[in-house]
Amino acid sequence: MTRLFVCVDPSPAAVADLGAVVDGLEVARANAPGHSTRMAARGRWHITLAFLGDIPDDRVDRAAEALTAAAADLRPVTVQFAGGGTFGRGGFTILWAGIGGDVDGLRALAQAVRAQLRRRRIPFDAKAFRPHVTISRPGARVASDLLEHDVATLEAYAGAEWTVAGLHLVSSQLGPNPVYTTVASVQLAG
């Protein structure tokens, strides 16, 4: 079994720009040895279009075929990091940065990928697509008023635009330091 997801990656410039903002957040300042706010490593920041979960190894190629088919009719879209918020409560709180720009185009990418996965009978999490990048999983490790300050900072943020020109099928190995490995990448037709 291979744990898989389909994503798009932000540009290095967009990551650096958002990273400078994240460095000033309370979750970043509170992250220290013995007091982890579970910051997501910048090298693993991505926007998940579809989460497949554990897939039998003999079906991974079919998942990659789904990406190729989805990309064949889609054009690149221009997006940016913009806004932010939290998911969950208490010990399950997740801090995220939102996406602005051509969000409808990004939704179309997610829909096309999901349609092609469905066509190939590759299961995926059917939750509604909410474009974001996870910044931290602070849980209750940061006081709620400080976390609200972080959300306000992210809500006011609008970063540099970048062009999404490709899709990636990625395997993930969970653990304290997750390992992401790109299994397949395809460029959008446009």
Break the chain into its structural domains and give their ranges: 2-187
| Whole-number pLDDT of residue 98 | 97
Q: How far apart are CA 117 and CA 86, in angstroms?
A: 29
Q: Name the helix (H) or strand (E) containing 14.
A: helix 12-22
Q: How far apart are CA 188 and CA 108, in angstroms?
A: 12
Q: What is the mean pLDDT of each run of 10 residues along the chain (190 residues)?
A: 95 96 93 83 94 94 96 94 93 93 97 97 95 93 91 96 96 83 91
- Residue of 16, 159, 168 lying closest to 78 (CA atoms): 159
Which 8-state DSSP code applies to residue 35? B
| Whole-number pLDDT of residue 190 | 64
| Whole-number pLDDT of residue 52 | 96
Phi/psi of residue 149, each to 5°? -65, -40
- Residue of 14, 76, 84 lying closest to 42 (CA atoms): 14
Q: What is the pTM of this model?
A: 0.92
- Residue of 50, 3, 60 lying closest to 174 (CA atoms): 3
C-alpha distance from residue 164 to each of 31, 91, 149 (Å): 31, 33, 30
Question: Which one of 3.90.1140.10, 3.40.50.880, 1.10.10.1100, 3.30.365.10 gives the CATH number of domain 2-187?
Answer: 3.90.1140.10
CB 108 within 8 A of CB 169: no
3-state secondary structure of 96: strand
